[in-house]
Amino acid sequence: MEKQSFSTHGLSRRDWLRLALGAAASAGGGLSMADSTPLRRPIPRSGELLPVIGLGTWQTFDVGSAPAERAPLREVLRRFVELGGRVVDSSPMYGNSEGVLGDLAVELGVRKKLFLATKVWTSGREAGIRQMEQSFRRLRTDRMDLMQVHNLVDWRTHLATLRGWKEQGKVRCLGVTHYTESAYADLARVLESEELDFVQLNYSIVEREAERRLLPLAAERRIAVIVNRPFAQASLFGKVRGKPLPAWAADIDCVSWAQFFLKFIVSHPAVTCAIPATSKVTHLVDNMQAALGRLPDDAVRERMARYIAEL
Which structural domains are found in the chain, ordered by start? 7-309 (3.20.20.100)
Helices (H), the chain: 13-26, 67-82, 97-108, 125-138, 155-168, 184-193, 214-220, 235-240, 257-266, 281-288, 298-309
Cα–Cα dist 254/208, whole Å: 21
What pLDDT is recorded for position 37? 85
- What is the C-alpha end-to-end distance of the chain, expressed in Å? 24
What pLDDT is recorded for position 18? 47
What pLDDT is recorded for position 13? 44
Cα–Cα dist 199/183, whole Å: 13
Q: What is the pLDDT along the chain (311 residues), one digit of tens a residue?
A: 444 433 333 344 444 344 444 433 333 344 555 457 899 999 999 999 999 999 999 999 999 999 999 999 999 999 999 999 999 999 999 999 999 999 999 999 999 999 999 999 999 999 999 999 999 999 999 999 999 999 999 999 999 999 999 999 999 999 999 999 999 999 999 999 999 999 999 999 999 999 999 999 999 999 999 999 999 999 999 999 999 999 999 999 999 999 999 999 999 999 999 999 999 999 999 999 999 999 999 999 999 999 999 99
Alpha-carbon distance values, 157 to 126, 164, 184, 232 (Å): 10, 12, 20, 31
95, containing H or E segment:
none
Residue 298, classified by CB atoms within 10 Å of its CB into exposed (0-12), middle (13-18) or buried (19+), is exposed
What pLDDT is recorded for position 275? 98
Nearest alpha-carbon partner for 94 in 66, 54, 131, 123: 131
- pTM for the model stands at 0.89
Alpha carbon 151 to its chain centroid, in Å, reads 16
Cα–Cα dist 238/127, whole Å: 40
Residues with Cβ within 8 Å of residue 168, at least 6 apart in sequence: none
